[in-house]
Amino acid sequence: EIVLTQSPGTLSLSPGDRATLSCRASQSVSNTYLAWYQQKPGQTPRVLIYGASNRATGIPDRFSGSGSGTDFTLTISRLEPEDFAVYYCQRYGSSLSLTFGGGTKVEIK
């Protein structure tokens, strides 16, 4: 089974900083089925990026996704106060199963 490893576990940054979050798969993953979510305390996850690089409806353009194969990246170009949250990558596989990464917490420095 494919494992998704997110790094770092915690990212301490200031508003206005650039955030770079990594999601590494134990085997090659199809770009089509790689997504990123944001979750704030007490809320359900919200999709940010699907298909590795497509922004979901209503997501600001400071969020971008890239990567292929086993290495994927979520970039937040300039952190806004509302962006401090936990971020998860997710992949759907050929075995019809689904996997989440362990998450990266972006906290205020």
Applying CB under 8 A, which residues contact another protein? Answer: 1, 32-33, 35, 37, 39, 44-45, 47, 50-51, 54, 56, 88, 90, 92, 96-103
Question: With respect to another protein, which residue has the nearer C-beta, 51 or 62?
Answer: 51
Listed residue (84, 58, 42) closest to 50, CA to CA: 58
Question: With respect to another protein, which residue has the nearer C-beta, 14 or 95?
Answer: 95
Provide the 3-class DSSP secondary structure of residue 42.
coil
Q: How far is the CB of 77 from another protein (least distance, A)?
A: 22
Q: How far is the CB of 62 from another protein (least distance, A)?
A: 20
Q: How far is the CB of 96 from another protein (least distance, A)?
A: 5
Can you count the helices (H) and strands (E) in the chain?
A: 0, 10
Question: With respect to another protein, which residue has the nearer C-beta, 1 or 61?
Answer: 1
Kindly compute the dihedral angle of the four CA atoms of residues 105, 16, 83, 72, in this order, to the nearest 10 degrees: -60
Tokens of 90: 């997710």
